[in-house]
């Protein structure tokens, strides 16, 4: 359709937004919880669902 | 031409036979009519144009079936142990599941080179509908499997849950950071892009777009890229898994669930990986039971789907409370339900119905089977003893064997009922499996039809594509492999028999 927005135009329109401290906090928390829970869940699966470990 | 009543085992390759009863062609036509009727009702409920759907579905059905049929050509499909039976010197050993690949390629040809035909099929080109129907059907077969090997099934479920927690928390954060920091995408683009690449493709991109109030164009653009790259993954990852992970079948299954970014793509890749890895293991004499790899891929993918709503809610809350709150934006817990993939209810229902029906039977059979095994071994030992014993001891030993046989007979009688239940359940699930396979083939074909590779030529796509390729092939696939290995290594499917 003629009115369909074009990706190139949409990307050109995109304004630069600096990475906010709150975004960095979100990323760090997400990774922190992810890595901590990796250790915890691995221990839980090895202890309570031992097949294969 | 022979007319065969039941078994075809005594026939040689090249013999022509006809099964007593319905011919193959009649059966195919009736299958088509039955599926057309059911799917047309579904299309009507979805608000589709039923006439257009029926025409499209008819074409999809027969092209898909032709692909499935071609995929079973012995030179392509036969595994090494079947070469002698087919009297052929070689084969590609791709198993009958190569029909899936044929369907995908046929779909890609239609979608990218025959735009008019592709347009005619549009109303029925619904890979998500087909794969979700297949998953609901598969729930029953997996419920039976879970009843037979409950410990393994619960293991897979728990480990699948662990794997996806990691996928959400680690994948998303890294992709979002990469898109923002290195590719300078703004928040409106970076968040749906991170969800689309890292979580679950189309539905995650749309859910995230809704959560942060992005304009609809953003998740649409991301989704079109997700679909195209899922096809690339479907064509590469199952073969990579067969080459490098054939000794760890369930790691391979979880990997498909974590790495391939659409429901259809992930579950379908799981099915191909299942067939390829089982064929490879057969070459070295290991005969694993079918479908455990597919079950693992499906479980992982479904857990991912289930959590999309919760993830979208969390993002909406954090965005509104901490980052930027657009007018009218509010995190509402009801969104979790709205985003919940409802087909999961169907899957859980069929899974639990079969589990509950078969559980008492398998728990009754299990201990008796153990006793029977022990008695068989005992009898075999006594028979050996009998062969070497002097004549005066024969009567006593024969008596012992008879007592053992009598006990085995009475034990076998005691589990006749439960065994009949399991046999009936197996008949039911293997019959429904025919439909599951057909829906899988439709999924492959229609994924091909809707995958428009011309999108990749669109002006401006380069930047979006680079971030996608770097994230997917540089990070997600490998982290997914690591997580799959961590939680699933050493967990093996049961052996046949």
Write the pLDDT tens digit of every residue in B39-66: 999 999 999 999 999 999 999 999 999 9
Show residues of chain B in contact with A34, CB under 8 Å: 165-166, 168-170, 173
* In contact, B280 and B246? CB cutoff 8 Å: yes
Residue B296 phi, psi dihedral angles, 5° rounding: -65, -45
Lowest model confidence (mean pLDDT) among B81-90, B266-275, B278-287 = B81-90
Is A10 part of the contact surface with chain B (CB cutoff 8 Å)?
A: yes
Q: Is the Cα torsion angle B249, B254, B259, B262 positive or negative in sign?
A: positive
* Cα(B261)–Cα(B162) distance, integer angstroms: 18
* Cα(B352)–Cα(B492) distance, integer angstroms: 23
Is A1 part of the contact surface with chain B (CB cutoff 8 Å)?
A: no
pLDDT given at position A1: 43
Predicted confidence (pLDDT) per residue in B303-314, tens digit: 888 888 888 888
**Which residue matches tokens 């032709």?**
B66
Based on DSSP, count helices (H) and strands (E) in chain A, helices before strands. Answer: 2, 0
Query: What is the mean predicted confidence (pLDDT) over B355-364?
Result: 91
Show residues of chain A in contact with B311, CB under 8 Å: none
pTM of the model: 0.80
* Cα(A36)–Cα(B235) distance, integer angstroms: 34
Q: pLDDT tier at B257 (50, 70, 90 boundaries)?
A: very high
pLDDT given at position A51: 66
**Residue B19 β-bridge partners:** B4
Q: Minimal CA–CA distance to B343: which of B127, B153, B41, B128?
A: B128
Alpha helix ranges (H) inside B319-415:
334-339, 343-388, 394-414
CB contact under 8 Å between B170 and A35, yes or no, is yes
Is B411 part of the contact surface with chain A (CB cutoff 8 Å)?
A: no
**Residue B495 β-bridge partners:** B288
Alpha helix ranges (H) inside B389-451:
394-414, 416-450
Residue from A3, A5, A7 to probe the interface with B (highest B Cβ count within 10 Å): A7
CB contact under 8 Å between B165 and A15, yes or no, is no
CA B129 to chain centre: 14
Is B162 part of the contact surface with chain A (CB cutoff 8 Å)?
A: yes
Per DSSP, B196 falls in state: I
Cβ neighbors of B393 (< 8 A, separation 6 or more) are: none
Work out the mean pLDDT of chain B and round it to a whole number: 87
**Which residue matches tokens 């005691």?**
B414
| CA distance, residue A20 to nearest chain B CA (Å) | 8
Predicted confidence (pLDDT) per residue in B228-238, tens digit: 888 889 889 99
Is B458 part of the contact surface with chain A (CB cutoff 8 Å)?
A: yes
CB contact under 8 Å between B488 and A30, yes or no, is no
Based on DSSP, count helices (H) and strands (E) in chain B, helices before strands. Answer: 21, 2
CB contact under 8 Å between A37 and B165, yes or no, is yes
Query: What is the mean predicted confidence (pLDDT) over B262-272?
Result: 89
Q: Given B159, B169, B459, which is nearest A34 (Cβ)?
A: B169
* Cα(B463)–Cα(B452) distance, integer angstroms: 18
Show residues of chain A in contact with B159, CB under 8 Å: 45, 49
Predicted confidence (pLDDT) per residue in B415-471, tens digit: 999 999 999 999 998 889 889 999 999 999 999 999 878 777 776 778 888 888 898
Counting residues of chain B whose pLDDT is more than 90, the rounded percentage is 41
Give me the count of residues in chain A. Answer: 53
pLDDT top residue among B2 and B480: B480
Residue B5 has pLDDT above 70, yes or no: no
* In contact, B270 and B294? CB cutoff 8 Å: yes
Q: pLDDT tier at B24 (50, 70, 90 boundaries)?
A: confident
CB contact under 8 Å between B323 and A23, yes or no, is yes
Predicted confidence (pLDDT) per residue in A1-53, tens digit: 445 567 777 777 788 888 889 899 989 999 999 999 988 988 988 888 776 54
Residue B13 has pLDDT above 60, yes or no: yes
CB contact under 8 Å between A45 and B176, yes or no, is no
Residue B20 has pLDDT above 90, yes or no: no
pLDDT top residue among B360 and B16: B360
Residue B288 phi, psi dihedral angles, 5° rounding: -80, 155
Residue B251 has pLDDT above 90, yes or no: yes
| CA distance, residue A52 to nearest chain B CA (Å) | 4
* 3-state secondary structure at position B448: helix
Q: pLDDT tier at B137 (50, 70, 90 boundaries)?
A: very high
* In contact, B217 and A5? CB cutoff 8 Å: yes
* Cα(A31)–Cα(A49) distance, integer angstroms: 25
Residue B326 has pLDDT above 80, yes or no: no
pLDDT given at position B7: 64
Residue B18 has pLDDT above 70, yes or no: no
Is A46 part of the contact surface with chain B (CB cutoff 8 Å)?
A: no
Predicted confidence (pLDDT) per residue in B277-297, tens digit: 999 998 888 999 988 999 899
Is B151 part of the contact surface with chain A (CB cutoff 8 Å)?
A: yes
Q: Given B189, B323, B483, which is nearest A20 (Cβ)?
A: B323
* In contact, B156 and B299? CB cutoff 8 Å: yes
* Cα(B171)–Cα(B475) distance, integer angstroms: 8
CB contact under 8 Å between A34 and B177, yes or no, is no
The total of other beta-carbon atoms located within 10 Å of residue B31's CB is: 15
pLDDT given at position A5: 65
Is A3 part of the contact surface with chain B (CB cutoff 8 Å)?
A: no
Helix axes B292-318, B201-211, angle to 10 degrees: 10
Counting residues of chain B whose pLDDT is more than 70, the rounded percentage is 94
Helix axes B150-166, B127-148, angle to 10 degrees: 140
Residue from A32, A35, A37, A38 to probe the interface with B (highest B Cβ count within 10 Å): A38
> Where exactly are the structural domains of chain B?
44-375+417-488, 381-416
* In contact, B352 and B143? CB cutoff 8 Å: yes
Show residues of chain A in contact with B488, CB under 8 Å: 52
Lowest model confidence (mean pLDDT) among A35-44, B155-164, B332-341, B432-441 = B332-341
* Cα(B234)–Cα(B270) distance, integer angstroms: 9
The total of other beta-carbon atoms located within 10 Å of residue B38's CB is: 12
């Amino acid at each position: 359709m003629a009115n369909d927005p074009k990706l190139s135009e949409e990307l050109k329109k995109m304004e630069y937004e600096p990475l906010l401290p709150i975004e960095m906090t979100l990323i760090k928390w997400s990774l922190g919880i992810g890595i901590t829970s990796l250790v915890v869940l691995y221990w839980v699966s090895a202890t309570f669902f031992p097949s294969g470990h | 031409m022979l007319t065969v009543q039941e078994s075809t085992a005594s026939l040689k390759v090249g013999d022509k036979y006809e099964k007593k009863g319905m011919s193959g062609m009649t059966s195919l036509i009736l299958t088509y009519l039955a599926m057309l009727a059911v799917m047309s009702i579904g299309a009507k409920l979805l608000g589709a144009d039923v006439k257009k759907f029926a025409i499209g579905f008819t074409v999809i059905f027969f092209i898909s079936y032709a692909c499935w049929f071609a995929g079973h050509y012995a030179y392509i499909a036969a595994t090494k142990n079947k070469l002698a039976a087919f009297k052929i010197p070689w084969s590609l050993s791709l198993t009958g599941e190569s029909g899936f690949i044929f369907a995908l390629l046929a779909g890609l040809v239609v979608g990218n080179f025959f735009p008019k035909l592709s347009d005619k099929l549009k109303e029925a080109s619904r890979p998500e509908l087909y794969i979700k129907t297949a998953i609901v059907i598969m729930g029953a077969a997996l419920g039976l499997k879970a009843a037979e090997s409950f410990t393994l099934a619960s293991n897979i479920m728990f480990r699948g849950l662990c794997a996806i927690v990691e996928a959400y928390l680690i994948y998303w954060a890294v992709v979002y950071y990469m898109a923002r920091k290195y590719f300078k995408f703004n928040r409106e683009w970076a968040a749906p892009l991170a969800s689309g690449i890292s979580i679950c493709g189309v539905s995650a991109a749309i859910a995230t777009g809704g959560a942060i109030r992005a304009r609809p164009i953003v998740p649409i653009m991301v989704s079109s890229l997700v679909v195209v790259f899922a096809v690339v993954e479907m064509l590469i990852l199952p073969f990579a898994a067969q080459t490098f992970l054939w000794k760890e079948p369930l790691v391979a299954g979880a990997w498909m669930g974590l790495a391939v970014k659409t429901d259809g793509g992930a579950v379908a890749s799981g099915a191909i990986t299942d067939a390829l890895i089982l064929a490879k293991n057969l070459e070295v004499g290991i005969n694993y039971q079918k479908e455990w790899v597919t079950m693992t891929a499906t479980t992982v993918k479904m857990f991912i789907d289930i959590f999309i709503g919760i993830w979208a809610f969390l993002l909406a809350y954090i965005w509104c409370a901490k980052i930027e709150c657009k007018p009218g934006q509010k995190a509402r817990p009801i969104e979790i339900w709205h985003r919940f993939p409802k087909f999961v209810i169907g899957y859980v229902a069929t899974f639990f119905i079969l589990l509950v029906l078969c559980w008492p039977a398998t728990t009754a059979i299990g201990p008796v089977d153990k006793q029977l095994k022990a008695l068989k071994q005992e009898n075999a030992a006594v028979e050996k003893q009998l062969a070497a014993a002097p004549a005066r001891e024969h009567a006593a030993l024969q008596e012992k064997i008879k007592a053992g046989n009598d006990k085995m007979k009475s034990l076998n009688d005691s589990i006749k009922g439960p065994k009949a239940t399991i046999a009936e359940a197996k008949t039911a699930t293997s019959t429904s499996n025919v439909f599951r396979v057909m829906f899988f083939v439709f999924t492959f074909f229609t994924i091909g039809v809707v995958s428009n590779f011309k999108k990749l030529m669109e002006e401006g796509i380069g930047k979006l594509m680079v971030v996608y390729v770097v994230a997917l092939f540089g990070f997600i696939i490998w982290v997914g492999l690591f997580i799959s290995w961590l939680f699933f290594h050493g967990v093996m499917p049961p052996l046949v028999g």
